Amino acid sequence: MDIKLQLNRAMIALDAFFKGVKKSNKSHSTKTILIVFQQILGDSIILQPSLQRYTKIYPECEGYTVKMLVRPQVFSFMKETLPLPENIIYESVDFKLFLEDYRYYQKIVKKYRGEADILIVPGTSLSAEVFSAASDANRKIGLTRNMDVKKPFIMAVFTKIAYTERVRPEKTDMILQMHRLLMHYLGDTEYKARLPMLLPKDKIINDKHYCVVCPGSSMMAKCWPADRFSAAIDHIFEKYGLRSHLCGGTNEEKFEFLILSKVNHPEAVVSHIGKSSFSDWSAIVQHADLVLSNDSATIHMAVAARVPAICIVGVHAKYQVFPYMVDEINSGDKLPIFVLKNMSCERCCITGYYIGSGNSECMKRIIKNRCSICVDAIKLEDVLKEIDKVLDIETLSYQKNKVLD
């Protein structure tokens, strides 16, 4: 690792640690609420239903100001795809740089120290814990894991000093339920966990019926092998005549090459990977007949669009990510189908912070940029079985509508 980067990280950790353990004598009465949201695209979709409630708990008419700190790219995504409360002030913070550049860290800490009466972290990570530790807010409320983090050491330390109040979920709480738990803690006891919503988009794909396939994810450890995705695409085309539209970011363009090099029917594939805006990505998903994806933002987008979805998922964060659990199901709501392989090492990134923690063989795979053992264990035939269940129903629906037309 670069020595300069190591030095920057060390200075950041030391500064935040001493700020965190030092008791501040100041008391802020600014009535500013600071939501620290350092998470990524899919997490922002999951947050959307509860985000609407912060201004109910802290109303503007009572003098409150609600600010949300969010990654620049995530904020762009949220603006283009999600219905957002207008009376929340959104400000961009590069949380990656915040942990790597001491000057940037100092700039951000200086900007927000003394500003917030209450700091709320609706999903923990090292950057959020460091930010909270360095903050001098009167109350620092964190939605934490259901168990104490013990490794890595730095995460264990900052988890202990970051918050004045912790909201701890049950082991089997899904993230939507965790947000409900936080809302209840903050005072909105009527809030119920429900599915998120998207801004409606017009159809931009000419195909009357089609599937969306997302072969990438935020980490290679979560990515089902590309040859199996290719086989699933061929199956969908041969049995149902549907083309598959690939979605993903610019950093996932390699999946386009891998898929196209392995499919038997390249004419069945249309790639939008790295070529579509966030708005277009949402539009493509909203009008699909099926979404097939790894654990990624595309799955959460499909759920928010009420589109049938199949998620190929490892058991790294079992319960937190799946199964989808809500307090109320409304007309038109569709819960995603999860295809997985249970293993004794499940919840590794909950108990050990990193995917593969505690399993040396799995860590070796991940270091080599391969998927985790539990993702690799998911068989093609298990995925095809779920695809057929969904598309057989959808095909009957097409035929019925055609007769009615």
Q: Quick one: 255 and 292 in the same domain?
A: yes
Q: Tell me which of 152, 186, 220 is where a domain ends.
A: 186
Q: Quick one: 217 and 162 in the same domain?
A: no
User: CA angle, 40 as apex, 163 and 90 as ends, to 5°?
Assistant: 70
Q: Quick one: 225 and 347 in the same domain?
A: yes
- The pLDDT tens digits of the residues spanning 194-216 come to 999 999 999 999 999 999 999 99
Q: Quick one: 228 and 115 in the same domain?
A: no
Q: Is residue 215 part of a domain?
A: yes
DSSP 147: S
- The pLDDT tens digits of the residues spanning 347-403 come to 988 877 788 888 899 999 999 999 999 999 999 999 999 999 999 876 655 554 443
Give me 114's structure tokens: 């003394």
Give the mean model confidence (pLDDT) for residues 70-87. 97
Q: Which ranges of 276-372 does DSSP label H, i.e. alpha helix?
A: 278-286, 297-304, 348-351, 360-367
Q: How many CB atoms lie within 10 A of CB 355?
A: 22
pLDDT of 283 above 50: yes
Q: Is residue 72 part of a domain?
A: yes
pLDDT recorded at residue 404: 37
- The pLDDT tens digits of the residues spanning 101-153 come to 999 999 999 999 999 999 999 998 999 999 999 999 999 999 998 888 777 88
Q: Quick one: 93 and 25 in the same domain?
A: yes
User: In sequence order, which residues have a C-beta less than 8 Å from that of residue 163 and are 6 or more positions away?
Assistant: 121, 132, 140, 141, 142, 144
Which has more pLDDT, 1 or 291?
Answer: 291
Which has more pLDDT, 404 or 32?
Answer: 32
Q: Is residue 119 part of a domain?
A: yes
- The pLDDT tens digits of the residues spanning 223-243 come to 999 999 999 999 999 999 999
Domain count of the fold of the chain: 2
Q: Is residue 193 part of a domain?
A: no
Q: Is residue 200 part of a domain?
A: no
Give me 159's structure tokens: 């988890």
pLDDT of 50 above 90: yes
Q: Tell me which of 124, 152, 186 is where a domain ends.
A: 186
Asked if residue 336 lies in contact with residue 196, where contact means CB atoms within 8 angstroms, the answer is no
Q: Quick one: 16 and 148 in the same domain?
A: yes
Q: Quick one: 241 and 347 in the same domain?
A: yes
Q: Quick one: 258 and 323 in the same domain?
A: yes
Domain holding 249: CATH number?
3.40.50.2000
| Residue of 4, 2, 68 whose CA lies nearest to 37 | 68
Range of the domain at 339: 210-404
- The pLDDT tens digits of the residues spanning 3-38 come to 999 999 999 999 999 999 986 666 656 799 999 999
Q: Quick one: 294 and 393 in the same domain?
A: yes
pLDDT recorded at residue 287: 98
CA distance 308 to 292: 9
Residue 208 C-beta-side C-alpha neighbours within 13 Å: 7
Q: Is residue 195 part of a domain?
A: no
Q: Is residue 198 part of a domain?
A: no
Q: Tell me which of 151, 170, 186 is where a domain ends.
A: 186
- The pLDDT tens digits of the residues spanning 241-276 come to 999 999 998 889 999 999 999 999 999 999 999 999
CA distance 291 to 271: 14
Q: Is residue 196 part of a domain?
A: no
Q: Which ranges of 82-206 does DSSP label H, i.e. alpha helix?
A: 95-98, 102-112, 126-134, 153-161, 175-186
Q: Give, rounded to a whole angstrom, the gap between the first and last alpha carbons of the chain.
A: 64
Give the mean model confidence (pLDDT) for residues 55-70. 96
Q: Quick one: 164 and 223 in the same domain?
A: no
Q: Quick one: 39 and 151 in the same domain?
A: yes
Pairing status of strand 290-294 against strand 210-214: parallel
pLDDT recorded at residue 24: 63
Q: Which ranges of 22-71 does DSSP label H, i.e. alpha helix?
A: 41-51, 54-57
CA distance 58 to 186: 9
Q: Quick one: 230 and 173 in the same domain?
A: no
